[in-house]
């Protein structure tokens, strides 16, 4: 059993292949966290300590006993007003404005299968895959407030999930001011915190620092998970490396604002919590109402960061992503954005399609600029009708023409937005989130639609049907600004940020179930909404608007800690690069873009014959390697401090019989030291043949001391080694 309860001790145990999680409902009814670490038998309540702690309050029931304080004990669901002064997961304000809700254990239930969350994305168990759910109910009598803590266990993947449902079972309304979904309390230990920061066109940069006393937090107030901080964090022992040491990860399955806090307190205890952003959040619950905190996926690894990433990769790939394209090969794409921007007509699109077809591309994706009046980014968002004058035909005729060339047809949309200069805005000004009496905040000249409204959601779904019914089999679903104003003409503005995301998920759920054959690529000005919530609906996401091969190294590096490469959309673009002006070899652009969602974003009509031949070879090779890239085990072979010198990564097939190793040396220097790459994950004792040269190497020596890269002859050279076990 993955979830058990020991009645005598009040201890809950969650067990996965390599980990154990324990908590205890103690004699006062408090739910104390005991352990999350390497798999163990027995109980771990001996780890709790009790002492008289000055200025740390005790529950009233203890009378004169001052040795029990929630300020010093590890908890599962810390709330405000209990004498625990660390950061809480729940803050509730009653109708008089009083905050505080002491929660006590009431009951629990263990069921087979993994829970799901109505209206929210969540990890699911596959048919035949072992999974269990533990639901623990806590209660505050004064408010009639019930909390249902949900724990999901997928033992074979070393995954434990958490979510929480807060409900008002009382007689008066109260307001939820803060709601987090997951907490890990550590009674001792010094840790590093790893987070991923960035900006538009430079997302998910790795940052690791020693956690000191105080609170360090990352999050997003932007209504989207954001370019600036990823909703994914890791706590690691100081000595944790890629292949050694203890580390814990939390991954938020949510696409809106979030916050993650790491607190190192007075007693050198550490608390890691994650949940909904508090900013502009104020969620009133009338009697009978409830709110669900989105899911957090957790894993623990005692074998370093590489293993932690493998657990998250497998979970996201197989238990979050859904639909036909979860497992089937993704098409090689030619996207028109960096090739043509807004400057095209129907003839040009067909010429590009013919040229792309000859290269071996599978699908043409017509990016922004195809609908009425959309010749720049000042107008027309919301008016999803093809510009037939520009295209020279209807959308369905264009789709059919491209199909007759032998390519599938995909198209760009940005359904959540509205331009002031649009038919939609002229007809429905109240659909935009603008605060009456204030001037709207414009970003990329556009406003955000109020997705909490049913009529808006219906309009978007109907507009997408209008496009998909023309034979389009792929949508690039873009989102090019953050939310600044939360205002709905239908009210409830404290709920709006959350309801917006629920509205988005409803739209995506309905479209993906109505059109199961359609592949949707997520996008938000590149990787501004690169999160596990979006991946539930869109199995791949445009990773960054930055297509420069050198900048993409650190973007892919950071992304790979939490996300599988099958989710990462990356395209070979032209040189000089449009974002950085850098010139890199076509071969290096290919090596870096060779991920699970690969394509080109350049004008094929402008290629030289040599480039055309090289691209044809690349596409053929990609189709050979695609399987290992999308379903193999991914290893980072360089450390963050190495990246400016070299960046190397490896894919190993699940059975260990094949490996694909890539490396890029961004800068060449005079008389350079030789760079050695040390692969991992090969079969001990086995020999591997270099497919290209036929040379054979012992796996153990390769994994121990590495192999030398050839000396580069210029900047930005890349190297690929394909190994096969003999």
Binding site for ligand DGJ (CB under 6 A): 337, 367-368, 412, 478, 480, 523, 525-526, 542, 545
Here the tokens at position 531 are: 């999160």
At 173 the three-state DSSP class reads coil
Catalytic residue check, 611: yes
Here the tokens at position 467 are: 């496009």
> What is the helix (H) or strand (E) element at residue 611, kind and residue range?
helix 609-631
How far apart CA 546 and CA 199 sit, in angstroms, is 11
User: CB of residue 200 vs ligand DGJ: minimum separation in angstroms?
Assistant: 9
Here the tokens at position 222 are: 């932007």
511 CB contacts (<8 Å, ≥6 apart)? Answer: 461, 464, 468, 518, 520
How far apart CA 246 and CA 303 sit, in angstroms, is 6
Whether the Cβ atoms of residue 123 and residue 315 lie closer than 8 Å to each other: yes
User: CB of residue 341 vs ligand DGJ: minimum separation in angstroms?
Assistant: 8
How far apart CA 321 and CA 537 sit, in angstroms, is 7
How far apart CA 272 and CA 257 sit, in angstroms, is 17
> What is the helix (H) or strand (E) element at residue 313, kind and residue range?
helix 304-315
- Residues β-bridged to residue 154: 159
Helix, strand, coil abundance in the chain, percent, nearest 5: 25, 35, 45
Catalytic residue among 531, 625, 650, 717: 531
In terms of phi and psi (left: phi > 0; alpha: psi -120 to 50; beta: otherwise), the region of 142 is: alpha
Comparison of 478 and 650: residue with beta carbon closer to ligand DGJ? 478
Comparison of 260 and 467: residue with beta carbon closer to ligand DGJ? 467
At 606 the three-state DSSP class reads helix
Here the tokens at position 126 are: 């596959």
At 35 the three-state DSSP class reads strand
Rg (alpha carbons) of the chain, rounded to whole number: 26
User: CB of residue 545 vs ligand DGJ: minimum separation in angstroms?
Assistant: 5
For the chain, how many helices (H) and strands (E)?
14, 37
373 CB contacts (<8 Å, ≥6 apart)? Answer: 379, 380, 383, 387, 421, 422
Which residue, chain included where needed, has tokens 């760009």?
A: 412
CA distances from 644 to 26, 548, 551, 668, 676 (A): 52, 14, 10, 11, 15
User: CB of residue 320 vs ligand DGJ: minimum separation in angstroms?
Assistant: 22
User: CB of residue 528 vs ligand DGJ: minimum separation in angstroms?
Assistant: 8
How far apart CA 45 and CA 65 sit, in angstroms, is 20
Residue ranges in 536-585 assigned as alpha helix (H)? 549-559
Q: What are phi and psi of 107, to 5 degrees?
A: -165, 175
- Where does residue 309 rank: exposed (0-12), middle (13-18), buried (19+ CB within 10 A)? buried
Here the tokens at position 153 are: 């266990």
How far apart CA 695 and CA 723 sit, in angstroms, is 10
User: CB of residue 542 vs ligand DGJ: minimum separation in angstroms?
Assistant: 5
Catalytic residue among 397, 611, 614, 715: 611
User: CB of residue 425 vs ligand DGJ: minimum separation in angstroms?
Assistant: 18
Comparison of 254 and 542: residue with beta carbon closer to ligand DGJ? 542
81 CB contacts (<8 Å, ≥6 apart)? Answer: 99, 100, 101, 102
User: CB of residue 589 vs ligand DGJ: minimum separation in angstroms?
Assistant: 16
User: CB of residue 338 vs ligand DGJ: minimum separation in angstroms?
Assistant: 8
How far apart CA 318 and CA 170 sit, in angstroms, is 40
How far apart CA 317 and CA 310 sit, in angstroms, is 10
User: CB of residue 497 vs ligand DGJ: minimum separation in angstroms?
Assistant: 22
Whether the Cβ atoms of residue 419 and residue 468 lie closer than 8 Å to each other: no
| Residue closest to ligand DGJ (Cβ) | 368
558 CB contacts (<8 Å, ≥6 apart)? Answer: 196, 198, 203, 204, 205, 206, 230
At 263 the three-state DSSP class reads strand
User: CB of residue 333 vs ligand DGJ: minimum separation in angstroms?
Assistant: 12
Comparison of 453 and 529: residue with beta carbon closer to ligand DGJ? 529
Instruction: Return the ∠ at Cα 80 (arms to 107 and 213), rounded to 5°.
Output: 115
3-state secondary structure 704-725: HHCEECCCCCCCCEEEEEEEEE
Q: Determine how β-strand 540-542 pairs with β-strand 283-285.
A: unpaired
Catalytic residue check, 290: no
User: CB of residue 476 vs ligand DGJ: minimum separation in angstroms?
Assistant: 6
CA distances from 573 to 392, 530, 606, 607 (A): 27, 21, 12, 11
User: CB of residue 559 vs ligand DGJ: minimum separation in angstroms?
Assistant: 15
Which residue, chain included where needed, has tokens 């008016």?
A: 383
Active site residues: 531, 611
């Amino acid at each position: 059993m993955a979830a058990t309860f020991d009645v005598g001790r009040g201890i809950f145990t969650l067990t996965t292949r390599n980990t154990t999680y324990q908590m205890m409902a103690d004699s006062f009814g408090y739910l104390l966290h005991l352990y999350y670490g390497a798999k163990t038998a027995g109980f771990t309540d001996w780890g709790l300590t009790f002492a008289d702690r000055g200025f740390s309050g005790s529950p009233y029931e203890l009378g004169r006993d001052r040795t029990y304080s929630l300020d010093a004990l590890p908890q599962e669901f810390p709330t405000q007003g209990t004498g625990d002064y660390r950061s809480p997961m729940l803050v509730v304000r009653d109708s008089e404005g009083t905050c505080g809700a002491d929660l006590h254990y009431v009951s629990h239930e263990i069921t087979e299968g993994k829970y799901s969350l109505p209206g929210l994305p969540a990890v699911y168990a596959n048919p035949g895959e072992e999974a269990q759910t533990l639901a623990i109910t806590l209660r505050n009598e004064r408010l009639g407030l019930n909390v249902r803590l949900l724990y999901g266990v997928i033992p074979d993947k070393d995954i434990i999930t958490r979510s929480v449902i807060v409900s008002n079972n009382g007689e008066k309304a109260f307001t939820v001011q803060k709601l987090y979904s997951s907490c890990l309390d550590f009674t001792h230990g010094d840790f590093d915190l790893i987070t991923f920061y960035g900006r538009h066109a430079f997302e998910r940069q790795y940052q690791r620092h020693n956690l000191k006393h105080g609170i360090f937090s990352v999050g997003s107030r932007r209504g989207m998970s954001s370019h600036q901080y990823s909703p994914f964090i890791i706590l690691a022992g100081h000595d944790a490396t890629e292949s050694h040491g203890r580390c814990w990860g939390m991954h938020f399955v949510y696409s809106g604002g979030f916050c993650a806090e790491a607190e190192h307190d007075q007693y050198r205890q550490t608390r890691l919590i994650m949940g909904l952003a508090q900013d502009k959040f104020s969620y009133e619950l009338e009697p009978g109402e409830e709110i669900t905190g989105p899911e957090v996926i957790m894993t623990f690894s005692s074998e370093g960061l590489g293993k932690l990433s493998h657990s998250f990769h497998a979970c996201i790939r197989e238990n979050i992503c859904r639909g036909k394209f979860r497992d089937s090969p993704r098409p090689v794409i030619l996207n028109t954005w960096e090739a043509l921007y807004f400057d095209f007509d129907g003839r040009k699109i067909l010429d590009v399609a013919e040229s792309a077809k000859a290269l071996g591309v599978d699908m043409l994706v017509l990016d922004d600029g195809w609908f009425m009046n959309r010749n720049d980014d000042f107008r027309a968002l919301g008016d999803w009708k093809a510009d037939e004058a520009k295209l020279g035909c209807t959308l369905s005729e264009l789709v059919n023409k491209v199909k007759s060339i032998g390519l599938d047809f995909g198209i760009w949309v940005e359904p959540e937005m509205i331009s002031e200069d649009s038919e939609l805005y002229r007809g429905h000004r109240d659909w935009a989130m603008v605060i009456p009496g204030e001037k709207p905040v414009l970003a990329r000249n556009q406003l955000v639609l109020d997705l909490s409204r049913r009529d808006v959601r219906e309009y978007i779904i109907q507009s997408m049907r209008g496009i998909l019914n023309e034979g389009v089999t792929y949508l690039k679903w873009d989102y090019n600004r953050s939310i600044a104003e939360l205002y709905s003409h239908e009210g409830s503005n404290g709920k709006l940020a959350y309801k917006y995301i629920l509205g988005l998920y409803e739209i995506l759920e309905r479209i993906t179930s109505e059109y199961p054959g359609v592949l949707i690529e997520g996008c938000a000005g590149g990787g501004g909404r690169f999160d596990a919530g979006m991946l539930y609906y869109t199995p791949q996401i445009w990773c960054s608007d930055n297509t420069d091969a050198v900048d993409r190294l650190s973007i892919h590096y950071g992304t790979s800690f939490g996300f599988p490469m099958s989710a990462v959309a990356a395209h070979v673009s032209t040189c000089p690069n449009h974002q950085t002006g850098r010139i890199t070899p076509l071969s290096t652009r290919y090596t870096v873009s060779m991920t699970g969602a690969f394509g080109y974003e350049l004008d094929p009509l402008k290629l030289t014959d040599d480039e055309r031949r090289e691209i044809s070879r690349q596409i053929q090779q990609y189709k050979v390697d695609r399987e290992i890239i999308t379903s193999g085990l991914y290893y980072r072979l360089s450390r963050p401090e190495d990246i400016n010198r070299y960046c190397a990564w490896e894919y190993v097939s699940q059975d260990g019989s094949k490996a694909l190793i890539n490396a890029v040396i961004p800068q060449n220097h005079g008389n350079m030291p030789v760079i050695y790459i040390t692969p991992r994950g090969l079969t001990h004792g086995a020999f591997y043949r270099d497919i290209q040269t036929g040379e054979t190497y012992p796996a153990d020596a390769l994994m121990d001391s590495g192999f030398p890269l050839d000396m580069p002859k210029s900047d930005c050279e890349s190297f690929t080694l394909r190994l096969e076990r003999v």
